[in-house]
């Protein structure tokens, strides 16, 4: 899969395409079509179920997208949320300075100052990618979108969902009976006026984050009640010093200086990718950020990376950030309102562990990782947790009452499954269409539905087909989807059905 193929596939098959397309698009904004939206919702729901399920004190909240200027004063975004820009002295285009260097020299320049970047540009003789003009100026631009509210109050579209939980922490500490840890999650939009949005939906100006902010007692950072369950579990780490992937038991990760509370959550993140998203092991790693790369307030910072050849290899799809008390302290100072809590018979400022995921990047990754070409068409081998549909139902032909019978089957199945009905085209074409969006099973209703009371069930991955009695269909499909039986055991194996001649 390369990026041009992804672009074409996503457009043609209803996943995503540029926003406001008929007006030439708006760089950095994408719309999800009907299949993309289903996949995205599925990812969000799987994420919600898994991460909020880690602790019964973890909840989702929904803060507003636009917040008071002071929220972002306190967080440091008004002053510090800037990107380095190199401006072409010939065509005037502003480029993200570290990105043009990255493209040119194939290494990371994240976290460098404008002065450092300017030096590399001069040394290597890097020119404007648009017109080959000279890049004389390198400076910073704030990436937030300001919004003027009412008669002149300044707000900002949030550049990350995280601040919502921070300013809402104390209300929830009271509501949730003054206990720690508390987890407050937001699944929602964030907005950044990127200089150079690119790579389709993986670097946009409007994007969806799924973040979980965990507020905990810092004196317990070397504890976790669930530790026994993970201590022998092996993490796939790419430490900054070693610059290669090593498999490290959680227990041994502690000796690398990563706190136990942090390691436990790394294990859960990795299990999410392996067990729920079914990502192949060698396509996943945690990458440690160097001191220069990570924000100064992140005491420990490992990115979650997936191997995405269309983007050039391992790329960030999330991160685990130990933000300490940086955020709550900032708000306490600017709002002049104590954020400390009384818990475990002490008064203190909670620390924050952030699990942060780019939803669009993960959706993109799920397409790429599960995409397979078979001749002139594609199959998405999506796991059950994110496949837009579990089952599709078709009539073999649109006559002799088969369409009505098929619709009856569909109406029964949709009660218990994510089901879709189709009757527009040949069976072969309908199979292909479902394969392309990753539908697990196709049920075809043919003439035997009346005589023998059975239907054909076809498996997406093996393309094999079996006959299943109508009365057993929901039960059998449930077992197949839950992985309790193998497809060969689901019914009587048959050759692909062909339309009967009348």
Site residues for its own copies, window 141-160 (CB under 8 A)?
145, 147-151, 153, 155, 157
Interaction of residue 191 with its own copies, rule CB under 8 A: yes
Cβ proximity to its own copies: between 35 and 465 the closer is 35
CB of 319 to its own copies, least distance (A): 23
Interaction of residue 173 with its own copies, rule CB under 8 A: no
Cβ proximity to its own copies: between 263 and 443 the closer is 443
The one among 6, 10, 14, 259 contacting its own copies by CB under 8 A: 14
Number of alpha carbons in the 13 Å side-chain half-sphere of residue 216? 26
CB of 14 to its own copies, least distance (A): 5
Sort strands 153-157 and 30-32 into parallel, antiparallel or unpaired: unpaired
Asked whether 372 and 224 are in contact (CB, 8 A), the reply is: no
Interaction of residue 260 with its own copies, rule CB under 8 A: no
CB of 450 to its own copies, least distance (A): 23
CB of 41 to its own copies, least distance (A): 7
Q: Which helix (H) or strand (E) holds 194?
A: none
Interaction of residue 6 with its own copies, rule CB under 8 A: no
CB of 61 to its own copies, least distance (A): 5
Interaction of residue 94 with its own copies, rule CB under 8 A: yes
Q: Which stretch binds its own copies (CB under 8 A): 123-131, 177-185, 269-277, 310-318?
A: 177-185
Interaction of residue 471 with its own copies, rule CB under 8 A: no
Question: Using CB under 8 A, which residues numbered 388 to 417 contact its own copies?
Answer: 410, 414
Q: Measure the CA–CA gap between 138 and 118, rounded to whole angstroms.
A: 6
Q: Which residue has the tokens 């059975």?
A: 454
What is the per-residue burial (b if ≥16 Cβ within 10 Å, else e) of 422-454? bbeeebeebbbbbbbbbbbbbbbbbbebeeeeb
Cβ neighbours around 461 below 10 Å, total = 12
CB of 35 to its own copies, least distance (A): 8
Cβ proximity to its own copies: between 104 and 145 the closer is 145
Question: Using CB under 8 A, which residues numbered 418 to 437 contact its own copies?
Answer: 420-422, 424-425
The one among 91, 105, 131, 175 contacting its own copies by CB under 8 A: 175
In Å, how far are 93, 119, 365, 420 from 90, measured between CA atoms? 8, 19, 37, 55
What is the per-residue burial (b if ≥16 Cβ within 10 Å, else e) of 52-81? bebeebbbbbebebebbbebbebbebbeeb
**In 323-379, alpha helices (H):** 326-335, 359-370
Q: Measure the CA–CA gap between 322 and 351, rounded to whole angstroms.
A: 8
Q: Nearest 5°: phi and psi at 89? A: -80, -10
Interaction of residue 479 with its own copies, rule CB under 8 A: no
Interaction of residue 331 with its own copies, rule CB under 8 A: yes
The one among 9, 40, 81, 210 contacting its own copies by CB under 8 A: 40
Q: In the stretch 54-93, what mask flags binding to its own copies with x, by CB under 8 A?
A: --x--xxxxxxxxxx-xx---------------------x
Interaction of residue 335 with its own copies, rule CB under 8 A: yes
Q: Nearest 5°: phi and psi at 281? A: -55, -40
Terminal Cα-to-Cα distance of the chain (whole angstroms): 44
């Amino acid at each position: 899969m390369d990026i041009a193929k992804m672009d074409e596939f996503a457009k043609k098959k209803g996943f995503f395409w540029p926003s406001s397309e008929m007006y030439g698009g708006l760089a950095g904004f994408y719309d999800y079509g009907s299949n993309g939206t289903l996949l995205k919702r599925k990812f969000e729901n799987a994420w919600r179920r898994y991460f909020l399920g880690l602790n019964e004190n973890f909840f989702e909240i929904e803060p507003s997208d636009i917040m008071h200027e002071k929220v972002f004063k306190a967080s440091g975004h008004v002053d510090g949320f800037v990107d380095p820009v190199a401006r072409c002295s010939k065509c005037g285009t502003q480029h993200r300075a570290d990105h043009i260097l990255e493209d040119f020299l194939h290494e990371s320049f994240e976290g460098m100052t404008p002065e450092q970047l300017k030096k590399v540009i001069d040394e290597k003789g890097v020119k404007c990618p648009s017109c080959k003009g000279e890049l004389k100026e390198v400076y910073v631009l704030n990436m937030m979108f300001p919004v003027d509210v009412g008669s002149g109050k300044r707000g900002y579209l949030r550049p990350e969902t995280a601040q919502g939980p921070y300013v809402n922490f104390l209300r929830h500490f009271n509501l949730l009976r003054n206990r720690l840890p508390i987890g407050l999650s937001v699944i929602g939009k964030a907005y950044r006026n990127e200089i150079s949005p690119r790579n389709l939906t993986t670097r946009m100006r409007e994007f969806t984050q799924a973040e979980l902010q965990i507020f905990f007692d810092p004196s317990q950072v070397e504890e976790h009640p669930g530790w026994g369950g993970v201590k022998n579990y092996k993490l796939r780490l790419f430490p900054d010093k070693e610059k290669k992937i090593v498999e490290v038991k959680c227990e041994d990760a502690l000796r690398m200086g990563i706190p136990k509370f942090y390691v436990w959550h790394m294990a859960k993140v990795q299990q999410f990718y392996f067990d729920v998203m079914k990502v192949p092991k060698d396509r996943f790693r945690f990458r440690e950020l160097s001191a220069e790369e990570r924000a100064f307030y992140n005491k420990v910072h490992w990115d979650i990376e997936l191997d995405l050849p269309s983007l050039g290899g391992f790329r960030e799809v999330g991160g685990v950030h130990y933000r300490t008390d940086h955020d709550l302290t900032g708000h306490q100072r600017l709002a002049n309102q104590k954020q400390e809590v009384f818990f475990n018979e002490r008064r203190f400022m909670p620390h924050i562990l952030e699990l942060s995921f780019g939803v669009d990047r993960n959706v993109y990754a799920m397409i790429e990782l599960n995409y397979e070409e078979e001749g002139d068409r594609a199959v998405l081998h999506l796991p059950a947790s994110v496949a837009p549909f579990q089952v599709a139902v078709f009539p073999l032909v649109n006559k002799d009452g088969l369409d009505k019978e098929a619709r009856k089957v569909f109406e029964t199945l949709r009660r218990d499954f994510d089901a879709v009905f189709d009757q527009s085209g040949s069976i072969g074409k309908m199979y292909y269409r479902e394969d392309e969006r990753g539908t697990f099973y196709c049920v075809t209703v043919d003439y035997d539905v009346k005589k023998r009371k059975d239907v054909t069930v076809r498996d997406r991955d093996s393309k094999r087909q079996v006959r299943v009695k109508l009365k057993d269909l929901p039960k059998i499909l449930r077992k197949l989807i839950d992985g309790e039986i193998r497809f060969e055991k689901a019914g009587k194996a048959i050759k692909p059905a062909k339309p009967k001649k009348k």
